[in-house]
Structure 1
Amino acid sequence: MTNTTQTTDASSISRLDFARTAPKAFKALLAFDGAAREHLDPTLVELVQIRASQLNNCAYCLHMHTTDARKRGESEERLHMVAVWREARGFFTERERAALALTEAVTRLADQGVPDEEYARAAGQFDDTELAGLLTLTFAINTWNRIAVSTAKTPGTD
């Protein structure tokens, strides 16, 4: 028997509410996500989460993290440029660009793994503790994206 509690607009199939149905896993992921952020700038955290959510087509997480970024004072101009950050050189610091490059590589593992040059670029901008946090954050947002997409979370809810 399946616990189905969330209905999508696109279909009549109900999807489970992950937080309610798997509370231990949900709480563990919250703790993992929280640990990732400890040594990272909150603005950088949002940029990483936005980029991974774009790549994973996760509307729910993209909405959440762009909203959170705005609340932290992020400009609309920069938010619009995250998707094209490689071409928008003047909008992001070298540190942010290194984080976004590593985020893309980790998110797109199937394409080419994590190239040495992308890893080295990030390692040159972050100390080991920060780099571990950045990697952990990327692992976490990719997991959140997969949960939200798999359970058809609706942007703007919760």
Structure 2
Amino acid sequence: MTTTNATQSTHTHAPRMLLHEVAPDVQKAMIGLEIAARKGLDQSLIELVKIRASQLNHCSFCLDMHTKDARRLGESEERIYLLSAWEEAAGLYTEKEQAALALTEAITVLTDGFVPDAVYERAARSFEEPELARLISLIVTINAWNRIGVTTRLFPGAYQAHA
């Protein structure tokens, strides 16, 4: 497959803006939402959800960050690599993780403009209602972060996972 110079130039870029510097109040509000959404959710599940949403949204900055964070938490390379095909590799993920990943995809893509009842009901069977509310909020938050990263063209690579 050959690519044109126009296609290559759209994928080779520098950041357009550092939103956290230009609008620190927005950054602070996003971090507040992030902290609230994470409460009570399993750390590994959080990173799997963030990686999957970031894959769907093509956010290289967030993919870099959350794969590093997942590894720091002890997540296996196999589960990280196969996340984009989690349904075919379902044996690697718990039912709860699969329900969360299905909900992540439905909320991220919003096929036909809604989240299918079957996907929501699967998640509702796997998560207590307060935990489900946090999961939905987490998915909304990572989608917002992805859209900031993609729009401002944040570049991957510099993020270091903290111990």
Q: TM-score, normalized by length of structure 2?
A: 0.88
What residue is the counterpart of 1:139 in the other structure? 140
What residue is the counterpart of 1:10 in the other structure? 12
Give the aligned residue type for 2:123. Answer: A
What residue is the counterpart of 1:122 in the other structure? 123
1:74-118 residue CA offsets vs partner (Å, 9 max, x unmatched): 000110111000100210000000000000000011444100000
What residue is the counterpart of 2:35 in the other structure? 34
What residue is the counterpart of 2:103 in the other structure? 102
- 1:39–1:129: 8 Å Cα contact kept in structure 2? no
- Displacement of 1:135 in angstroms is 0.2
Give the aligned length: 150
Give the aligned residue type for 1:10. Answer: T
What residue is the counterpart of 1:43 in the other structure? 44
- Displacement of 1:9 in angstroms is 7.8
SS for the counterpart of 1:153 is coil
Superposed CA RMSD: 1.5
Alpha-carbon separation, structure 1, partners of 2:98 and 2:113: 19
What residue is the counterpart of 1:74 in the other structure? 75
Give the aligned residue type for 1:80. Answer: Y
Assess, with a 3 A threshold, how the Cα gap between structure 1 residues 14 and 64 changes in structure 2: closer, same or farther.
Answer: closer
What residue is the counterpart of 1:22 in the other structure? 23
Alpha-carbon separation, structure 1, partners of 2:141 and 2:123: 18
- 1:18–1:26: 8 Å Cα contact kept in structure 2? yes
SS for the counterpart of 2:79 is helix
Alpha-carbon separation, structure 2, partners of 1:89 and 1:148: 29
Alpha-carbon separation, structure 2, partners of 1:14 and 1:76: 29
- 1:103–1:138: 8 Å Cα contact kept in structure 2? yes
Unaligned segments of structure 2, at least 5 residues: 1-9
Assess, with a 3 A threshold, how the Cα gap between structure 1 residues 123 and 10 changes in structure 2: closer, same or farther.
Answer: same
Give aligned-pair identity as a percent.
Answer: 52
- Displacement of 1:42 in angstroms is 0.2
- 2:50–2:139: 8 Å Cα contact kept in structure 1? yes
Unaligned segments of structure 1, at least 5 residues: 1-7
1:14-55 residue CA offsets vs partner (Å, 9 max, x unmatched): 611100001111100001011100010000000000000000
- 1:52–1:141: 8 Å Cα contact kept in structure 2? yes
